[in-house]
Structure 1
Amino acid sequence: MTSYPLGFRLAQGIGLTGAAWLAGNISGLSTISTPALIRSYREDNVPSNTIAKQWQRMFELGKAKNPPVAAAVTVSFGYLAWSVRPGSSLFKQAPLSRTALFSTAAIMTLGIIPFTIMFMSSTNNALIQKASGPSESSDEETLELVRTWTTLNQLRGLLPLAGVCCGFVASFI
């Protein structure tokens, strides 16, 4: 087995565990948190604008934590892709390009940012507006926005999951 430098192994650890954590963190909001918000409305008569405010707090925490983690993971996977490029001392012939797999892992993980901007901004903005608006806003509209956000967020969580899968394959072929 080829001996890899400590920096390479650290980058693997950061990339793989960071992408896995990110996928779980994002997906957990859609599988646990937002269903609990909707249940609070249905069973406990929590007003929809309170649901929107709670969603906004979760959103702000995720917005503060997830992009920096995605950036660190992307840098790690980028370093790994550069380290195994053809001509480098760590390059080895493999049926799949390790450089391409690590590069794909980096792109997929960082993809949460453009995905959010392109596909989720309108829903995010509408929910933020509901959170700051009067309590008379349409309950069903708020709940539908939370449901839409939940679906989009679950899809977004698949990006770092695909990244960790690509990184794992590249690490062990």
Structure 2
Amino acid sequence: MPIDAIKTAQAIGILGCAFTSALTLPAHKPPSSASLIQITPGAPISHITHQWLYIFSRGKQIFPDLAAISSTAHVYLAWADSRESNSVCYALAAAVTMAIVPFTLTVMYPTCRGLENHATRDDAAEVEGKEGMVTSDQEVAKRAREDQEALVLLRRWSGLNAVRALFPLTGAVIGFCAAVCV
């Protein structure tokens, strides 16, 4: 195989994985003693979940392609590298990177679905022009419970998102180790 093709594939695989991981992580706040305290958000929770939905929707459009491109580069390297140990490492890097998809679709799905439902709960009322309607005490209490549940879901999603970012990061590390292995 031409050396330029190998080096290009290494760069695409490693940097693509690292880029995917880096873009996933900023949404995660590292755990600290301050984050364990119950925090009241400064904006209405419905606004926060709408922001989350926008960011998550953008991520659904971008991250699967980035992971697939990086993994494709690693699969090419697994095929092209004549050293068996490197081929195994590149194949493992591709598999670990693509694990971001089933993790999101299985482990994160219930949390994401709950946040999406919260973010869109008032959309129909806004379309119909009923967003300013007077609600009963029961409805107010129900909405308050839903808001508290949404805060819990946001915190859970933040932790799961940090775990999810580890998949492409691990793929980048494995790909890098295979690239520098002599």
What is the CA-CA distance between 1:5 and the residue it aligns to?
2.1
User: In 2, distance between residues paired with 1:110 and 1:57?
Assistant: 23
Report the AA paired with residue 61 of structure 1. Answer: R
User: Can you give the 5+ residue segments of structure 1 that lack an aligned partner in the other structure?
Assistant: 33-40, 85-90
Aligned to 1:133, the other structure's residue is in SS state coil
User: Can you give the 5+ residue segments of structure 2 that lack an aligned partner in the other structure?
Assistant: 31-38, 123-139
> 1:83-112 deviations in whole A, cap 9, x for unaligned?
11xxxxxx247xxx1011101100011111
Aligned to 1:31, the other structure's residue is in SS state coil
Structure 2 counterpart of 1:48, from 37, 45, 49: 45
Report the AA paired with residue 125 of structure 1. Answer: R
Q: Percent identity?
A: 31
List 4+ stretches of structure 1 deviating above 4 A: none
| Residue correspondence of structure 1 range 6-155 to structure 2 within 5 A | 6-31=4-29, 42=40, 44=42, 46-84=43-81, 91-92=82-83, 97-134=85-122, 136-137=143-144, 138-155=146-163
User: In 2, distance between residues paired with 1:31 and 1:80?
Assistant: 35
In structure 2, relative to structure 1, the CA distance for the partners of 1:43 and 1:113 (3 Å cut) is: closer
Report the AA paired with residue 104 of structure 1. Answer: L
What is the CA-CA distance between 1:42 and the residue it aligns to?
2.6
What is the CA-CA distance between 1:4 and the residue it aligns to?
5.1
> 1:128-162 deviations in whole A, cap 9, x for unaligned?
00001149352221110000101111001000111
TM-score of the aligned structures, taking structure 1 as reference length = 0.83
Give aligned pairs, total: 153
TM-score of the aligned structures, taking structure 2 as reference length = 0.79
What is the CA-CA distance between 1:43 and the residue it aligns to?
5.1
User: In 2, distance between residues paired with 1:106 and 1:26?
Assistant: 18
User: In 1, distance between residues paired with 2:177 and 2:14?
Assistant: 11
User: In 1, distance between residues paired with 2:66 and 2:41?
Assistant: 35
Partner of 1:88: none
